[in-house]
Amino acid sequence: MSEQRIAIVGAAESDYGKCPGRSEFDLHNQAAERALSEAGLGKDDVDGLFSLTNGYFRCPSLLVAEYLGIHPTYEDCTSVGGSSFELLVEHAMAALQAGRCKVALITYGSDQLSVLGRTLGTKSDPISHIAQQYEEPYGLNIVSAYALAARRHMHEYGTTSEQLAEIAVSTRKNASLNPLAMYRDPLTVEDVVNSRMIASPLHKFDCCVISDGGGALVLTTEDRARDCAKDPVWVLGSSQCSDHLHIADMPDLTESAAAVTGPRAMAEAGVKPEDIDLLCTYDSFTITVLRAIEDLGFCEKGEGGAFVEGGRTAVGGDFPVNPDGGGLSSNHPGMRGIFLLIESVRQLRGEGGDRQVADAELAVAHGVGGWLSSHGTVVLGKDK
């Protein structure tokens, strides 16, 4: 197995927001072409495909490969929800180092907003139905599952709705600096806590947006990365872990498997939490962010509420989180883990524009899948 370092040399989104008339495969293709173009590569260079769709398609990598017109000799369609793409980075890295492929393309596309509209969340897919058959009839859906974890955190540590609202406010401030974000109008703590209750204690603005959109990443080995059009961003460490599927089987409602993946990924990268310049983490709900900050080791358990106060997680704050506006304000097309990686890469290249985090050299992308079920952490660093 090669000891070469692995780099991300292309990272791009498709159009996102609401994209009527565009299939999820169109969005895969648009993102893939943009990512390959900025790397100075073409589809003929791709021999490893790592791909997921938001629809319940069998053989998603085969469908995407056919649509893109590529013939991979290595493919992977591991699906564990929103953290899938952090896992796929780890899998692509292993395949590249083993010589199973030379250029790995990771893609995602979703037309959930255009296709599902207001029916989103009212129907179960077959897999979730197996897990939720004893809970969903009584109202325990995806929002109320996270609300359950939020309420327990409040009970154990005194976390308040106002502290959760601070996350939504800072994320909206970040989104205001992103011209592509779906929601850019200012938001206050009062706006959040006075917005409609969805599942107590989570209000409307504690919950992510719904969008269409896709993304793509291109990874390759160090020797080839040096010849690509963009400066490489290095994959320094990664880790994955899950400890349940449905929330009813979560071992501890106040601690997730991120407490395993964060330390492992950072140890592999040879860094500590205090070395990290920005965090791009899953923000399906405000509680998802607060839990990740604690479990990844950026503050002690139970101190997340105080940690996020005062705009600390906004661009320009002490600990920038989701500079693009995250799933709470920018976009959330079903599984958002690939956008965490894209924004991390963009920030480390210094391409954030108005939302650029100053002197960003190390970033953590952390994905969460299911009901706080699956976690994947990737540490990325710029070329020095």
Reported pTM:
0.96
Q: Residues 6 or more apart from 198 whose CB is under 8 A from it? A: 143, 147, 204, 206, 207
State the DSSP string of 229-297. SS--EEEEEEEEEE--SSGGG-S-TT--THHHHHHHHHHHHT--GGG--EEEE--SBHHHHHHHHHHTT
Write down the pLDDT at residue 246.
84
Asked whether residue 129 is domain-assigned, the answer is: no
Asked whether residue 302 is domain-assigned, the answer is: yes
Instruction: Kindly state the greatest CA–CA separation across the chain.
Output: 56
The SS3 call for residue 45 is helix
For the chain, what percentages of helix, strand and coil (3-state, to nearest 5) are there? 40, 20, 40
Asked whether residue 61 is domain-assigned, the answer is: yes
Asked whether residue 161 is domain-assigned, the answer is: no
Tens of pLDDT, residues 6-57: 999 999 999 998 898 889 999 999 999 999 999 999 999 999 999 998 876 7
Asked whether residue 45 is domain-assigned, the answer is: yes
- 337-348 and 84-97 helices, crossing angle to 10°: 60
Tell me the pLDDT band of 140, cut-offs 50, 70 and 90.
confident
Which H or E run contains 152? Answer: helix 142-157
Structure-token pair, residue 150: 């939020």
CATH of the domain at 78: 3.40.47.10
248 has a pLDDT exceeding 90? no
- More confident position, 142 or 301: 301
The rounded distance, in Å, linking the Cα atoms of 362 and 43 is 30
Q: What is the mean pLDDT of residues 230-239?
A: 97
Write down the pLDDT at residue 56.
62
Q: What is the mean pLDDT of residues 111-116?
A: 86
Asked whether residue 92 is domain-assigned, the answer is: yes
Write down the pLDDT at residue 135.
75
Write down the pLDDT at residue 318.
97
Q: Check: CB of residue 269 under 8 Å from CB of residue 235.
A: no
Q: In terms of residues, how long is the chain?
A: 384
330 has a pLDDT exceeding 90? yes
Q: What is the domain count for the chain?
A: 1
For 311, the domain range is 6-116+209-382
Asked whether residue 372 is domain-assigned, the answer is: yes
Asked whether residue 121 is domain-assigned, the answer is: no
Write down the pLDDT at residue 262.
98
Write down the pLDDT at residue 139.
78
Looking at residue 101, the DSSP 8-state letter turns out to be -
127 has a pLDDT exceeding 80? no
Tell me which of 109-118, 200-209, 320-329, 369-378 is least confident.
109-118
59 has a pLDDT exceeding 90? no
Looking at residue 207, the DSSP 8-state letter turns out to be B
119 has a pLDDT exceeding 60? no
Write down the pLDDT at residue 134.
74
